[in-house]
Amino acid sequence: MTKVSENSALLPKNKDRSSDVIVRPAVSADLPAIGRLGALLVRMHHDFDPERFIAASPRTESGYASFIGTQLDNPDVIVLVADSGGEVQGYTYAAVEGYDYMSLRGPAGILHDIVVDPAHHNRGIGRALLDATLTALGERHVARVVLSTATQNEAAQHLFTRSGFRPTMIKMTREVRGAGTQSSPTAGGPP
C-alpha cells in the first residue's frame, strides 16, 4: 500500500465543514464505500453518453470494490480516500505505468479515478485528493501524470486545469451500425 507521507493531507476547517477531512491510503474496510463511489462514476459516465460508457449493473458496486481490493497491496498503485470521521467521502485510484506505445507516451503516473460523493462537492475534497495523489506519485519519481476526463465533466476539467494539467489528446467515439452493441448478448460487458 502506498503511504502518502508521514503527515496525511488534512483539509483546514472552515465555516461549511462540520469536521476535518483526512486524505489517507485506502484500507480494505473502505472497499464498500469505494465500490459505491465507483458505481456512481459508472452511472455518471453512462448518463453522459449511454452509447459510449457501460451501464451500472446490480453487481457494479461489489465488482468495483473487489477490483480495487486487488490493487491495495500493489506497489505501483495508489488508492487514497478522503475520510471524515470514518466516512469515505471520495477516493482516487492511480498507478505508475511504463511505456505505452498505443498512447504514444513514456512512463507516467496514470490517474484512473477521482470521485467525490456529490453530497460533499465544493468543499475542496477533490483538490485535496488530487494534490495528495500527485504528491504520492512524485514520491515515486513520476515525471508526468496523465488522465482522461469525460468531455461533459466540466467541473473536473476545471479542477485539472487549475492544478496544471493541459489537454493533450481528444478521444472520439463512433458506433458501427449493424454491429453488436453493449446491450447485445455477444458484446459482453461487466458482470
Domain boundaries, the chain: 22-26+75-162
Residue 43's identity, in one-letter code, is R
β-strand partners of 134: none
pLDDT value at position 179?
A: 74
How far apart are the C-alpha atoms of 125 and 22, rounded to whole Å?
9
Closest CA to 116 of 84, 82, 153: 82
- Superfamily of domain 22-26+75-162 in CATH is Gcn5-related N-acetyltransferase (GNAT) (3.40.630.30)
Q: Could you state, in chain order, the average pLDDT of each consecutive group of 10 residues for the chain (191 residues)?
A: 36 46 97 98 95 96 98 97 96 97 95 96 95 97 96 94 95 87 48 56
pLDDT at 10: 44
The sign of the torsion formed by the CA atoms of 176, 182, 188, 189 equals: positive
Determine the pLDDT at residue 186: 41
CA angle (51, 54, 58) in 5-degree steps:
135
